[in-house]
Structure 1
Amino acid sequence: MAFKLPKNSLFAILLRSSWWISFAIAGALSLIAMALLPEAYRAVGALSSFPFVVIGVIALRRQWSLPGSQEVARTAEILSTLNWQSFAPLAQASLEETGRVVRTYQGAGAEFVIHDNGGCRLVSARRWKSARLGVEPLRELIGAFDTAGARGGIIICLGDITEPARKLAQSSAVDIWGAAELAARLRGKLPPP
């Protein structure tokens, strides 16, 4: 069984935060240890910041290849101008970046199905331009799980997600892909603005 950090633990929060915050905490702890502890304990006190350095390195590694805010905004701008016929191949390409087989889904509630070694997942992408996504598209997607034998899904939306929709997605094994996820997966594949 793999160890999983509790969602709201300090280290889990730092892993989701900017990498430099962990290094700043490590530096502050080291400085405090050097300034306040007796000479014999300074090295041990400074070493107490080591877990924050490790978390900072992990966060830096994860964030290194992520698109910046300007690239995310540019991606959202380009994708919001496309019609479905232009967007669908890009959505499929972003899903194929995961290394799985992606096919068009023929049923209601989803547009694509991803097949992998553990079954399939459905993808709802038709409402990618929605300014605000509520629970109704999620219910349609979740309703299609049984028909397709899916074990989860992905919903693609450039706009905001309502809090009830976010909670429903979390409780139903549905990942939400926004502009940041699409920008990371569609690098070099977008049409010019």
Structure 2
Amino acid sequence: MSENSLFAILMRSPWWISFAVAAVIALLGKIIASGEYFSYGVAFTLPFIVVGSISAWKQRNEPSAARVEDTIEAVSAMSWREFSGLMEKAFERDGFTVKRIDGAADFLLEKQGRTSVVCCKRWKAASQGVEPLRELEAAREAREAREALYVSANGVSDAARQFAKEHRMALMLAPQLARLLRLPRKSLPRK
């Protein structure tokens, strides 16, 4: 499927948009097509209902935009000690053996014989460039780790995103961070 096709765009959009498009098509079908042709008009809604259902299934565990924003606000107010402890507990909860390390990477994760290096020191910075990712890549090579994960609450530059893609590095940005940390509501600041 082309990245810019209507259905690809709908798959990346909130699930309810596909159902809204289906409802509009059905309404237009009711207005334009009468009687026996109405069922053909309704048939055109089926692809949108399928895409909406797939999107809803994929998005069922995704944190809401408000939850992501609240989580980022909470972690941005934390010290490095608090944040790193929270990250360590979250990785352990997900079944990793976690070892703190020094240098470009902060953690060495092991699970099922696979080793990963994780860098999350600069989680508060507004936007990250390529240099920290280069350092993480060097740490991965030095430790002969299979994977590298870079954590940033506020995003990375396009050049950094491209570098990560070229070097098969995973980026953990705000939505993934909110999903990993699963902060209780009482830990999130109230507005």
User: Is the structural similarity TM-score above 0.5?
Assistant: yes
Provide the residue aligned with 1:165 in structure 2: 160
Distance, in Å, in 2 between the alignment partners of 1:37 and 1:7 is 32
Residue 179 of structure 1: aligned partner:
174
1:111 aligns with 2:69: no
Kindly state the Cα deviation for residue 103 of structure 1 after the two structures are TM-superposed. 1.6
Displacement of 1:117 in angstroms is 3.6
Q: How many residues align?
A: 188
Q: What fraction of aligned residue pairs are identical, expressed as a percent?
A: 33
What are structure 1's unaligned runs of at least 5 residues?
none
The 1:191/1:30 distance shift into structure 2, 3 A limit, reads closer
CA deviation digits over 1:81-114, x for unaligned, max 9?
Answer: 22221111111233345x3313225363211233
Shift of 1:161: 1.5
Q: Which runs of 5+ in 2 are unaligned?
A: none
Look up the equivalent residue of 2:149 and give its one-letter code: I
RMSD: 2.5
Cα offset for 1:38?
6.0
**Which aligned pairs between 1:1-193 and structure 2 lie closer than 5 A?**
5-37=1-33, 39-97=35-93, 99-106=94-101, 108-117=103-112, 119-188=114-183, 191=187
Q: CA deviation at 1:6?
A: 4.5
Separation in 2 of the partners of 1:53 and 1:127? 42
The one-letter code sitting in structure 2 at the alignment partner of 1:27 is A
What is the rounded CA distance, in whole Å, between the counterparts of 2:28 and 2:107 in structure 1?
A: 54
Change (3 A) 1:85 1:107: closer
Q: Secondary structure at the match of 1:115?
A: strand
- CA 1:165–1:61 in structure 2 vs 1: closer, same or farther (change >3 Å)? same
Whether the 8 Å CA contact 1:121–1:151 is kept in 2: the answer is yes
Return closer, same or farther for 1:154/1:6 CA change in 2, 3 Å cut-off: farther
Alpha-carbon offset, residue 134 of structure 1: 0.6
Question: How far is 1:183 from its partner?
Answer: 2.0
Matched residue type, 1:150: A
Provide Cα deviations, 1:5-56, integer angstroms capped at 9, x if missing partner.
5433332321211111101111122233333346444313312211211211
